[in-house]
Amino acid sequence: MTALQTAYPAILLMSAILAGCGGGSGTSSNSGNPTSSPTPSPTPSPFVELRFDYEAHRFATSDRVPEYTYAGVTYPAAVADIFPQGSLSADFQKDGYPELVIPLNKAYGTPAYAALPYVLLSNSNGRLSYSAPLNAQLPSVFGARRSAILSVAGQPSAFFVAHNVSGVYNEPEAHGTAVLLGQRDNVIGRISTAIPRITTNPDRPDDATDAHSMATGDINGDGLDDIAIGNWNPFGGFAPLFLIQQEGGNFRVSSDTFLERLLQLPMVNSGSTGNEGFNLLLDLHLADVNADGFSDLIAGFGHGSAYSLLFMNNNGTFDFAQQVRLPPTVYGVDANMHLETRSVDLDNDGDLDLVLLHSRISPYYAGTYLQVLRNDAGQFADVTPSAMVQEDRYVRANRLEWTSDLFLRDIDRDGKVDIIHGLYDGQLAVFFNQGSMKFGKLTASLPNNENGRLLAVDDFDKDGGYELAYYQYGGSASEKAYFVNVYNVAFSKP
């Protein structure tokens, strides 16, 4: 264990709680004075605080990567970095104790890029832990990218996709992979028989993908969860596609070519700074925004010049003639990178609002901006400026300073959904929902101002409150160590 991991004192980010109680205790039998009224206790100042609970898992690597160039910048030789992407928590066993799945990337974008097995942290009576026998059943994959929860044959499941990166495209064994995980016979593992062949590339296995985006929802209105995979290289055998769930839990490939045509979306401004000559489909999201029983589609782009688009579902199909442009962000149409979409009823009016997470292309993936879109009878209004305050040092951050760690949870259990955002420097931002599309922001640091990635926000111990799982870093110049730590969160709302 590194020095950073030896102690985890609670860090109080805002002011200390103003404790104390004053006032009288009633009428004295010897006094003719009137009874004095109790003095109200001071209201605690707003704060949010992370309190270390326990370490759930750790591992290390001393593997090295040579000097390499990524996105125009050359980096020196060093120990390989391992980072998570697409982590999710789900109650696979339906016992009220969610498990945690952590897909990993090793030496991303380097000549030493390698496949790693997913990490499954089991949950026994409220405590996450690592089981080697269970993890031996999980697949090793390249390029972990996206994940989503869905129901397959009535069972809680999770679907994951991955993508290739520069330097490994021509290696048949180095491919992104689609993975469906679920619980069968009291064991959480891969369900390989439910997914049909999804690539036309004969040099790749059936489950090969090259996807930056993926979403789950009910596309055809039959009450079953379907899948949209945003593969982006049809000519290489990786066409984007819809997988439609059948009774019994198997999926079939839809003949609908809508997603493939979506890849051909023309750029708004082909001469924009930093664009790569095409619009990369970075995000897909399925949500029934008009409550008609069919999931509508939100598509987000990057590396080119494009608006984010909403396509209303017309009895199981999508039509380019009915696309709706969503409001642009502070980055503008040309520089924007639409990375993530979340949908939930933020204002408790009965329809789904949207929270979008963006970065910018120049500097490369520099900054993180949250956008709140209010659903007004199917029309989306950008209420971000009046809804929340975001710090410019995060919105206009430097190259590769971004994060996709975004969660929508009613963390204070007041009936209004809050926004929890893990920032790139390890800071935690909690936007407490105050109603009427207003959010009060508080921030917290990890103990000892350590860095880390927010993996999950869930009630792992079934006590009625949320715990936060973090992926944290330690080690030395010769060996990097990684820890999955669980924190409790305490707060006094603004």
Answer whether residue 49 is part of any domain: no
Answer whether residue 139 is part of any domain: yes
Answer whether residue 243 is part of any domain: yes
User: Residue-wise pLDDT tens for the chain (494 aa)?
Assistant: 433 443 333 333 333 322 333 333 333 333 344 445 566 666 679 999 999 999 999 999 999 999 999 889 999 999 999 999 999 999 999 999 999 999 999 998 888 888 899 999 999 999 999 999 999 989 888 878 999 999 999 999 999 999 876 455 556 566 788 999 998 777 899 998 899 999 998 888 899 898 999 999 999 999 999 999 999 888 888 999 999 999 999 999 999 999 999 999 999 998 888 788 899 999 999 999 999 999 999 999 999 999 999 999 999 999 999 899 999 999 999 999 999 999 999 999 999 999 999 999 999 999 999 999 999 988 999 999 999 999 999 999 999 999 999 999 999 999 999 999 999 999 999 999 999 999 999 999 999 989 999 999 999 999 999 999 999 999 999 999 999 999 999 999 99
Question: What are the C-alpha distances in Å from 486 to residues 51, 52, 100, 245, 453?
Answer: 9, 6, 11, 35, 12
Answer whether residue 30 is part of any domain: no
pTM (2 decimals)?
0.90
The CATH number of the domain holding residue 480 is 2.130.10.10
Domain count, the chain: 1
Answer whether residue 281 is part of any domain: yes
Answer whether residue 128 is part of any domain: yes
Q: What's residue 261's pLDDT?
A: 95
Strand partners, 253: 243
Answer whether residue 36 is part of any domain: no
Amino acid at 448: N
Answer whether residue 8 is part of any domain: no
Q: What's residue 41's pLDDT?
A: 63
Residue 236 sits in which domain range? Answer: 61-492
